[in-house]
Amino acid sequence: MEKKRIVLGITGGIAAFKAASIASKLTQLGMDVRTIMTKSATEFITPLTLQTLTRNPVAIDTFDERDPSRVMHIDLADHADLVLVAPATANIIGKLANGLADDMLSTTILATEAPIVLAPAMNVHMYQNKFVQANMKKLADHGVKYIEPGEGQLACGYVGKGRLAEPEEIVAWVQSFFDKKHSLQGKTVLITAGPTIEAIDPVRYLSNHSSGKMGYALATAALFAGANVILVSGPVALTPPQGAKVISVRGAQEMHDAVLSHLDDVDMVIKAAAVSDYRPKEVLTHKRKKHTDNWEIELIKNPDIAYEVGKRKRENQLLIGFAAETENVEMYAKEKLEKKNMDFIIANNVLQEGAGFSVDTNAVSVYGKQGLIATYPVMSKRDLSEQLITWLGAQL
């Protein structure tokens, strides 16, 4: 953990006293801890305490610029390998969810490109409040992570969920985060995502229901794991993860060419795209008008990208495929695995609630040449991707 740079944010709640232990333990692990306190936090614990424990100055006031050669909140934002806010009150969660920056902590967080983790601590009714939960979900959808609060006796007298996680648990989370972050260090991963579209005429096309969310979540998780990521993406309404090399394609032939042109440069290929199996034999140059009651379109097969990769992949490359099925999931997944020389295949039943296209969750089973390896229940595609990438990094 040496040389890891942590920006520790402390907000105004009674649990702020635990931040001293968190700062101390992280510093003892060899991390460079820089603390930002809100003015409310200083009512519960003194800046001198944090300065003494971390051996670094504590930032409080956005306008307290002591070094003319740098802007402090930008310097802190750029400094961080990880931003940890513990405790995170409902107030700071609401600010971040709505892009507000009115103090040193919120301004720094909005300026950073580092991963952000919040450790909430508040009254049980505040934590359960629908506005707070909506804000937390909004942040989670944008990649912010959480260290869940515990249940028990709260300082306000209530009993329920809202206690700040214990310092040991928070420090263990940080250690685990950096361990996972390096599971693909120095490796290059190619991921396909989204649908492909096959033109019929200048107006119409054939496609499928894929949103690209799973592939993009995998790309984000791979980047966090330290990989160089090549993301070959069909047309989607998603923002690519920062740091990925994005190759935008439309049809299956374009995706085929992009994947094979980079195959020699990668250690792992994850085929998460929903590629059109067929395309119209003839693409009309003008929009077809409604002259008849029926319209027959002759389709021809598209190239099978996974099959081509399976034939060409090196011994030290991994090929992982996806199988979206509606019945006989295990049988079709195993057939696809063997036919296309895949190392692993991740299969799901798109008719299962929470596991279909365009939703934010998924539930999958992983198969290898030895059969079923693991089953993952319904969870967010973000969490599922992190678990899959960690496991795949270990296989590689």
Q: What is the CATH number of the domain that holds 98?
A: 3.40.50.1950
Residues 361 and 213 occupy one common structural domain? yes
Among the three residues 129, 150, 181, which one is the final residue of a domain in this structure? Answer: 181
128, 133, 149, 160, 355 from 152: Cα distances, Å: 15, 20, 10, 5, 34
What residues make up the domain containing 225? 188-395
Domains in the chain: how many in total?
A: 2
Q: What is the CATH number of the domain that holds 378?
A: 3.40.50.10300
Residues 244 and 295 occupy one common structural domain? yes
Beta bridge partners of 195: 274
CA–CA separation, 302 and 300 (whole Å):
7
**pLDDT value of position 81:** 92
Q: Is 354 exposed, middle or buried (0-12, 13-18, 19+ CB in 10 A)?
A: middle
Q: How would you classify the pairing of strands 116-120 and 205-206?
A: unpaired
Average predicted confidence (pLDDT) for the chain: 92
CA–CA separation, 108 and 258 (whole Å):
39
**What does the pLDDT average to over 20-40?**
96
**pLDDT value of position 119:** 95
Residues 205 and 109 occupy one common structural domain? no
Q: How far is CA 217 from the centre of its chain?
A: 5
Q: Among 100, 156, 263, 373, which one carries the catalytic annotation?
A: 156
What pLDDT, in 10s, does the model give residues 106-163?
A: 999 999 989 999 999 998 989 999 999 999 989 987 888 899 888 777 777 777 788 8
**What does the pLDDT average to over 348-354?**
92
5, 14, 334, 357 from 329: Cα distances, Å: 45, 51, 9, 16
Tokens of residue 225, six digits: 């794991």
CA–CA separation, 84 and 167 (whole Å):
12
pLDDT band of residue 101 (cuts 50, 70, 90) is very high
Active-site residue 7, yes or no? no
Residues 280 and 132 occupy one common structural domain? no
Among the three residues 181, 198, 233, which one is the final residue of a domain in this structure? Answer: 181
**pLDDT value of position 213:** 94
Among the three residues 181, 213, 231, which one is the final residue of a domain in this structure? Answer: 181
pLDDT band of residue 181 (cuts 50, 70, 90) is low
**What does the pLDDT average to over 212-216?**
95
**What does the pLDDT average to over 295-320?**
95
**What does the pLDDT average to over 77-88?**
94
Q: Is the pLDDT of residue 274 over 80?
A: yes
Tokens of residue 199, six digits: 């033109």
Q: How would you classify the pairing of strands 299-301 and 278-280?
A: antiparallel
Beta bridge partners of 318: 268
Residues 108 and 227 occupy one common structural domain? no
In which residue are the tokens 């305490």 written?
49
Sign of CA dihedral 205, 208, 209, 215: negative
**pLDDT value of position 41:** 97
pLDDT band of residue 50 (cuts 50, 70, 90) is very high
- Higher-pLDDT residue of 321 and 69 is 321
CA–CA separation, 346 and 90 (whole Å):
38
pLDDT band of residue 382 (cuts 50, 70, 90) is confident
- Cα dihedral angle (309, 314, 320, 325), rounded to 10 degrees? 40
pLDDT band of residue 17 (cuts 50, 70, 90) is very high
**pLDDT value of position 280:** 97
Amino acid at 176: S
